[in-house]
Structure 1
Amino acid sequence: MTELWPYAQRGAPAFGEWVLARAVSPRYVAEAVADRLGPYGRSLVALVVHSVLGGALMLLGPVQLLSAVRRRIRLHRAVGVVFALTVYASMAGAAAYLVRTAPRDAFSGPAFWIVLTTILVGTVLSVTFGIFAAVGRFPDLHQRWLLLCYGFLMTAPLLRLEWGALPWLLPGLSMADINRVAVMHLGSVVAFGALLASRALDRRATVSGVRGTWVPTPVLAVVHLAGAAALAWIVRSYLGRGSEGLRLLVAYLIPYAVTYAVLLVRQRRAGRDGRSWAREEWRLHLAALCLAPVLSVGATLLFGRYMGLDRGTALSAGVAIGCGMLAFAATAAVSLRIVSARELVEREGPAAPPRSAPGPVTRVANP
């Protein structure tokens, strides 16, 4: 929240830069801010709005979660209204900056501009779908969308933590290079965290109306094959780019592999335990994760063709947005699964089992 003060007033205290210069080096910080005066100066008011409100959202998010867990309904609703309005206002500031800043002028270049734009869209859509879920009395879906929204918001502080931590693992890199490494996995990490939190809050073994699976074994096998082929293309492309390509590839593959292993094990364990709803949600997200490299390959080709990006920049942009976008798609698929289940139960009439959507979701307050 204080990062932009020096850009508004020369000589103003720069607390973040002071900490980072001592955690890494003064040169590391000086190189990062040397060319930022122009791009930030053109959108300073918008960036101040975005940054200050973004900092407020970091505080409001835990309040929202705790009020839901402890069933403080009135507090949850009141803070929820403030949270949603703050998201829209903060993202409006970010949108104003991105519109006024050419992709080549963004910090770390066009790939970073594309990642920021994707996060902005994902954040706004997540909070919007969360509001719709609350109005429609789907507290389980409301919880999932708001957790995903908060995950996207958390990319900002996590990136700043990586500014200080990654130079110890990768000495000699500039902050722009650190950014390129960080965006390889931040989308995957925050979306995975949101999924783990959602599953921890939903203890239902089954959901009325959810029968069978939308991802049968043949479909899962096909998406695995498609994902493996796309992943091989990504690996080959990065290995052809020397040490920088290897560095970016490792930053992408390690979190991807960990996420894949957890999803695979959890869906199998849920199936053995007879928890069909948990199995279905893990399975939908597993299929989406397998398809993330396919989306990345397609996005890489589109960015190169229609945005005029060089092969390396287009590849980094495509890979950086793949996991986050497919996690969003998986959450949408989970939502459709719940909505269709409710409609099925209502069509079957009074003889059908009682609807389980709002009640049995443990520790989640009704909106």
Structure 2
Amino acid sequence: MVVTVVCLTYAPIAMTELWPYARPGAPAPGEWLLGRTVSPEFVAEAVRDRIGPYGRSLVPLIVHSVLGGLLMLLGPVQLLSAVRRRIRLHRAAGTLFVVTVYASMAGAALYLVRTPPEEAFSGAAFWIVLATILVGTVGSVTFGVLAALRGFPDLHQRWMLLCYGFLMTAPLLRLEWGLLPSLYPGLGILDINRVAIMHLGALVAFGALLASRALDRRATVPGLTGTWCPLPVRLTAHLAGAAGLGWITAAFLDEGAAGRRLLVAYLVPYAVTYAVLAVRAARAGIRGAHWPREEWSLHLVALCLAPAFSAVTAPVLEGTLGLDRMTALVAAVGTGCGVLAYAAVTTVSLRILHARETLQRTGRATEPPAVRGRGPKAAEAPAATGAAPEGGRG
């Protein structure tokens, strides 16, 4: 319900956000609301900083923002129609959703291609985070479509929820524009954006995982045996994560007050996410729910590896793109949790596919000789073992 309210509220703001850049004086409810929530000076700074970068790609960006508003409306329709099993509505809205995602992201891609990172709104770190979100959104919706076409509704659901999670970074960023200035009075839009991107990727991916797990009530998946997260893997991931967190902490502390502010914005949401994943995995293990434990554990391992990924990526960005140390650090940390969450969903998908392949091999191996190779009857064997209903509640 909260997500639906946020989406419905943000949709008209997104659709009209860039109109004043094309026609001065055009209605802009987002600017009006932000000016009264924070201050007119804060809004003026945000507008001033966007005029130059947006002016090069105004038409693609207007297309991106208008279609982005439409996506905010289509998302709740998709979720509610899936929950209520309204298949025709879900498929029709889903087709429109996918086409709109591709068209909206094409507009964003044109802006990013035409704008050098150092000249982008809020700087190079923000440009890198936006590019990462774009790739994640397009990749997620593509895998979601492929999963639906191949008849894997549980995988389709996970990828589409992750896609919508990435899309939710837009309204959540605007909420942070309204809230963070009260925590950090006097901070400009560039610094506010840097604080926000420290945790937005982790937040939306975490939300997509919670939604996936809430909709998937299965205690086990047919064909799922063993675990891809044995103790050595978990220990290695925790050690790598601890080393990465140590490096990130030291790097931010070297940057003074600004670094400490960004470190807190990263560590607090990270710690909360880690605690929830660890507790959920442990509880699932105690009650013998093998599949939930496996999925929570895979995401927990990915979360542990995110700081290590960021620690390795920061020097690479600094060297290859010629960024200063702080910008490279912000970009690497801002993308780390989102990238690893994407990797976790990929691994979960492979885990489910592996389980189904195992089930099919087991079914073929245990079929009576008289049934093997007899066309339709052979095809019925996996359904008898429970493969067909597997995705029904996913």
- Give the TM-score, by structure 2 length: 0.90
Q: Distance between the aligned counterparts of 1:268 and 1:335, measured in 2? A: 21
Given candidates 27, 44, 65, the residue that maps to 1:13 is 27
Does residue 1:142 correspond to 2:172, yes or no? Answer: no
Mapping for residues 69-80 of structure 1, pairs under 5 Å: 69-80=83-94
Q: Which residue is 1:172 aligned to?
A: 186
Q: CA deviation at 1:115?
A: 0.1
Shift of 1:105: 1.4
Following TM superposition, by how much is the alpha carbon of 1:185 offset from its aligned partner in structure 2, in angstroms? 0.2
Match of 2:46 among 25, 32, 48: 32
CA-CA distance at 1:46 after TM superposition? 0.2
* Contact 2:217–2:393 (CA under 8 A) maintained in structure 1: no
Quick check: 1:69–1:363 contact (8 Å CA) kept in 2? no
109, 117, 128: which one pairs with 1:114? 128
For the residues of structure 2 that align with 1:356 and 1:73, how far apart are their CA atoms?
A: 22
For residue 11 of structure 1, report the CA deviation from its aligned partner. Answer: 2.5
Q: Secondary structure at the match of 1:58?
A: helix
User: Displacement of 1:359 after TM fit?
Assistant: 2.0
Q: Structure 1 62/355 Cα, relative in aligned 2: closer, same or farther at 3 Å? A: farther
Q: Distance in 1 between matches of 2:263 and 2:39?
A: 26
**How far 1:302 moved relative to its partner?**
0.7
- Structure 2 segments unaligned to the other structure (5+ residues): 1-14, 368-381
1:42-81 to 2 correspondences below 5 Å: 42-81=56-95
Counterpart residue identity of residue 21, structure 1: G
Equivalent position SS for 2:16: coil
Deviations 1:35-56 (A, max 9, x none): 3222212111100110000011
Structure 1 residues 178 and 167: CA distance shift in structure 2, 3 A? same
Counterpart Cα distance in 2 of 1:327 and 1:57: 22
Partner of 1:157: 171
Matched with 1:242 is 256
Q: Deviations over 1:83-119 (max 9, x none)?
A: 0000000000000010011111111100000000000
Tell me the residue number matched to 2:274. Answer: 260
2:311 maps to: 297
- 1:254 deviates by 0.5
Distance 1:105 1:355 in 2: 58
1:201/1:362 contact within 8 Å kept: no
Residue identity matched to 2:46: A
Are 2:129 and 1:99 equivalent residues in the alignment? no
Residue 196 (structure 1) aligned to one of 187, 210, 213? 210
Deviation at 1:15, TM superposition (A): 2.1
Judge conservation of contact 1:138–1:358 (CA < 8 Å) in 2: no
Contact 2:274 2:300 in 1 (8 A): yes
Higher relative contact order (CA 8 A, sep 6+): 1
Q: Distance in 1 between matches of 2:385 and 2:273?
A: 32
Provide, for residues 215-241 of structure 1, a one-character-per-residue CA deviation record: whole Å limited to 9, x for no partner: 101110011001001100000000111
Q: Which has the larger radius of gyration?
A: 2
Deviation, structure 1 residue 349: 2.0
Deviations 1:3-34 (A, max 9, x none): 11111012223321111111111111111211
> Partners of 1:141 and 1:68 in 2: how far apart?
14
Output the CA distance in 1 between the equivalents of 2:91 and 2:112.
31
Shift of 1:347: 1.2
| Residue-by-residue CA offset, 1:227-283 (whole Å, 9 max, x unaligned) | 001100000000111110000000000110000000001101000100000000000
* 1:310 and 2:327 aligned: no
Match of 1:359 in 2: 389
Shift of the 356–227 alpha-carbon distance from structure 1 to 2, 3 Å rule, reads farther
For residues 116-146 of structure 1, what are the alpha-carbon distances to aligned partners after superposition, in whole Å with 9 as ceiling and x for unaligned? 0000000000000001111111110000000
Give, in whole Å, the separation in 1 of the partners of 2:41 and 2:386. 58
Letter matched to residue 359 of structure 1:
P
Q: Distance in 1 between matches of 2:105 and 2:20?
A: 22
SS where residue 49 of structure 2 aligns?
coil
Q: Secondary structure at the match of 2:221?
A: coil
**Match in the other structure for 1:127:** 141
Q: Can you give the 5+ residue segments of structure 1 that lack an aligned partner in the other structure?
A: none
**1:356 offset after TM fit, Å?**
4.3
CA deviations 1:166-202 (Å, max 9, x no partner) are: 1111111011111000000000000000000000000
Q: Distance in 1 between matches of 2:317 and 2:52?
A: 26
Match of 2:374 in 1: none
TM-score by length of 1: 0.97
Separation (CA, whole Å) in 1 of partners of 2:121 and 2:166:
19
CA separation of 1:356/1:57 partners in 2, compared to 1, >3 Å: closer, same or farther? farther
Which deviates more, 285-294 or 38-47?
A: 38-47
